[in-house]
A and B are shown apart, each in its own frame.
Chain A
Amino acid sequence: MLEIEGLKVEVEGREILHGIDLKVDCGQTHVLFGMNGSGKTTLLMTIMGFPRYRVTAGSIRFRGQDLDGLSVDQRARLGIGMMFQRPPTVRGIQLEQMIRLIPGRETQDVQELAEKLNLSEFMRRDINYGFSGGEIKRSELLQLLVQDPNLVLLDEPESGVDMENMQVIGDFIRMLLQKDRRRTREHCGLIITHTGYILDYVEADLGHVICDGLLVCSGNPREMLEDIREHGFEECSRCVK
C-alpha cells in the first residue's frame, strides 16, 4: 500500500529526514516512536504532501503510484487521510458544513456517527473553535470517517485526551482501520504515538523508532514500547551510534 524509499526531506532549508525506508502493507497498522523533533510528524506531513516539506531524494509510492508532484488534495482523493495533532481553527465554517464539503462516502449516517462521538452539539460550531484536546480528536475522526481513506495517518491521537474519551477514540480508530475485518481489510494506518497508550485500544502490526531523521529499528510494537518505557530513547540513540 505505502512504500517509502531513501526519503530525504528538508524544511526551510534544513534536512530533517535523512533517508527513510518504510513499507506498510494493505491491512496493516504501524506505529512510529521517537523523541520530540526526531522527524515523525515531518514524515506524515511529507506523505500528505504539504508544500513546506520538500523531498530532496527518494520516493513515496501509494498503491503503486509515485506521489511526487501530487498536491495535498490529489493525495487525499487518492485515499490518504490525516488526523492532525493541532489543526487550525477555521472561522465561519461549521463542522457540519465541513462534513458536507468533504468528497467522500454518503453522509447520511453522519448524525449517528456524530452522536456516538459525542459531537452533536459541536456540529454547528466553527471548526476547532474553542474545542478541547479530546473534542479536536473526535472532530478529526468524524471527518476522516466521512473521507474514508485507505491510508490513515494519525499524529498522536491520544494527546490531550482524558481516559474516558480514550475508549471512544480507540473504538473509532479501530473502525477507521477496519479492525473488525481480517481478510478483507483494505485500510492501513501509520500512527505516531508518544505515550503508547493508543496500543491499549488499537492493535498494531509493527513498530518503528525514528531517531534524528532516520528509521533506526523496527519490531514488535508492544516490546518496543516496553523497552522505551524502561530505557528511554537514549538507548535507541546509543544503538544507532
Chain B
Amino acid sequence: MISVESLTKQYGPFTAVDHVSFTAATGRVTGFLGPNGAGKSTTMRVMVGLTRPSSGRVTITGRDYRELLNPGLEVGVLLDASAQHAGRTGREILAIAAQTMGLPKSRVAETLARVGLTEDEASRRVRDYSLGMRQRLGIATALIGDPQVLILDEPANGLDPAGIRWMRDLLRGFADDGGTVLLSSHLLHEIEVIADDIVVIGQGRIVAQGSKSELLAAAGTLVRTSDVDTLARALHEAAVVTSPIDGGLRVDADPELVGETAHRAGVVLRELRAADGAGLEEMFLELTAETAREGAAA
C-alpha cells in the first residue's frame, strides 16, 4: 500500500504539488491521471526519495522509502524509460540492477522473457531501442526484484495497442497476486483500460479520486451560473460535493436539491441539468484546457 499524506512541493514561489493526499490500495491498480505538468512525476519522485518534499510524507507499506533495506526487492520503480545509459545493452542494464539487489544472474534472462524482450534485442545497445522496447526494459528493471509495490510513471507511453493490452494483463496479474500498482498517465483512455482506482491531479492538486466505476458512472448534476462562488459555498454548506467546470459546477446531487439550494442562496442559474455520466471526461478535458500550452482562454 502506498499512502501519500498532504504532500507539498514548492519550487520558489511555484507550487508543483499542493497538499496531495491519496492511497494506492493493495491488490488494486491505481491510475494517477493528469495533464502534463500537473505534478504526477514530482509526486512519484518524492515517493522514491529522489526529490525532497516541502512538507507532507509518503509511506510505502507503512515505511519511508529510505527505511527500506533493499528497496529494489520491495518497490519496483520506473520513472523514465529513456533515462538509461545509451551505450549499455539491455541485458547489462538488467544485470546491474540484479547485482545491486543481490539477485542470482538467472533472474536476468527470466525477467527479459517476462517482458517480451528477445535474446537478440537484449544484446543490443539501448541507443538502438524504440521507446516501446525501453519501456519494456524499464518494467523489467522494476519487476526483477519481485517487489510487492510498483510505481510506474507513464509506462504505457510508446507502447502500441497490443503492448498496452500486455501491460494491462501484467499489472492485473500483479495486483491479483496481492501487489500494489500505481501508474501515471496523461491519457484518460490508458487509465480507463488499466486501472481499478483513479486519482485525478491538476495543477498540483487532487481534483477527483475514486474507483473507476464510480468515477466513470458518476451521474450528478451540471449547473452553470454567473455566480459560481456563492453557489459553491451554499452547496458546501448543504454538505454536497462539487467540482468546478467551465462557468459552473458538477454537483453530486440531483437537480432538484441544487435548484433549491440556488434559490435559497439567491443565485441565478443559466443551466441546470442531469450530468450524463461524462463527469470524469469533462472534468479532465477542463483540466487539460486550463493547462494547455496554446494559451486557450482559461
A binds B: no
